[in-house]
């Protein structure tokens, strides 16, 4: 069991479910980039980890130079690793990695509204469905109208939690573009479009509470 979120990332080396999830997330990020109009593409990543999903996609994507991104992550070791990757890709002028709290509105000012919002490894770390709905409502501050939202949700004890997320997204006015289960069948990855208007002021200063812990991550 990983003792913290830095160690949790080591599971990418051994767990097929995480490896397959990453592959689908990168595919969905690439799809969003492919379908973004010409010009600057703004991206934010909520609880970004070491940013391997976005950065791994940009390493081989023709629109990489158009991307202006802010990744927000609390664990400083992960941020350092992400910054080193950004440097190796030559993207330091356009990608910021913030070592800060991704649950608060102030850490997104200047980077939103975004064209692509990455919320991977977050929905399974919320207390309940009310908290999920609260976070979905607060995405209206992060997202342009039509923005792509890319998300993941693991299943546990045979419960298909990703179906709950799909229903909540539909009820909150997001349109599904694609949804895939990993080959392990216990992890859902989705890409939706935000249909509502962008809110220039956040509804709440804190969007959600991240209550998960690394040694019990779902
Ligand atoms: C399950 S991991 C997912 C990481 C990454 N998004 C991925 O999919 O590989 C959850 C991440 O959220 C981070 N985290 C937890 N609470 C946070 C907070 N309040 N603000 C920013 N990051 C947070 C953890 O440090 C961890 O890296």
CATH code: domain 5-211 is 3.40.50.150
Model confidence over 60-72: pLDDT tens digits?
Answer: 999 999 999 999 9
Average pLDDT, stretch 170-174? 96
**pTM greater than 0.85 (yes/no):** yes
Following DSSP, what letter does each residue of 84-127 receive, concatenated? HHHHHHT-TTTEEEEES-TTBGGGGTTT-SEEEEEETT-GGGSS
For ligand 1, say whether the CB of 177 is within 6 Å of any of its atoms: no
Residues 6 or more apart whose CB falls under 8 angstroms from that of 164 comprise: 129, 132, 153
DSSP count for the chain of H helices, then E strands: 6, 7
Domain boundaries of the chain, sorted by first residue: 5-211
Average pLDDT, stretch 21-43? 98
Predicted local confidence at residue 216, as pLDDT = 78
- Is the pLDDT assigned to residue 218 strictly greater than 80? no
Mean pLDDT of the chain: 97
Look-up of token digits 């791994």: 56
From ligand 1's centre to the CA of 210, what distance in Å? 8
For ligand 1, say whether the CB of 102 is within 6 Å of any of its atoms: yes
**Can you give the three-state secondary structure of 166-201, one letter per residue?**
HHHHHHCCEEEEEEEECCCCCEEEEEEEECCCCCCC
What is the dihedral sign for C-alpha 21, 23, 27, 30? positive
Provide the 3-class DSSP secondary structure of residue 49.
Answer: coil
Model confidence over 125-152: pLDDT tens digits?
Answer: 999 999 999 999 999 999 999 999 999 9
From ligand 1's centre to the CA of 38, what distance in Å? 30
For ligand 1, say whether the CB of 135 is within 6 Å of any of its atoms: no
Look-up of token digits 């959600």: 208
């Amino acid at each position: 069991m990983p003792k913290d979120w830095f160690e949790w990332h080591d599971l990418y080396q051994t767990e097929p479910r995480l490896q397959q999830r990453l592959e689908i997330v990168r595919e969905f990020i690439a799809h969003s980039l492919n379908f973004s109009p010409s010009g600057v593409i703004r991206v934010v990543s909520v609880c970004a980890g070491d940013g391997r999903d976005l950065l791994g996609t940009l390493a081989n994507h023709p629109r990489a130079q158009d991307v202006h991104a802010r990744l927000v992550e609390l664990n400083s070791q992960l941020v350092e690793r992400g910054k080193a990757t950004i440097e190796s890709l030559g993207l330091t002028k356009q990608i910021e990695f913030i070592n800060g709290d991704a649950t608060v509105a102030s850490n997104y000012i200047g980077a939103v509204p975004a064209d692509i919002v990455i919320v991977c490894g977050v929905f399974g770390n919320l207390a309940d469905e009310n908290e999920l709905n609260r976070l979905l409502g607060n995405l209206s501050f992060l997202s342009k109208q039509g923005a792509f939202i890319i998300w993941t949700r693991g299943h546990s004890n045979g419960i298909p939690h990703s179906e709950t997320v799909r229903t909540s997204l539909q009820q909150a006015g997001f349109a599904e573009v694609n949804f895939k289960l990993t080959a392990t069948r216990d992890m859902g990855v989705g890409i939706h479009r935000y249909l509502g208007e962008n809110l220039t002021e956040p509804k709440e200063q804190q969007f959600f509470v991240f209550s998960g812990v690394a040694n019990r991550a779902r």
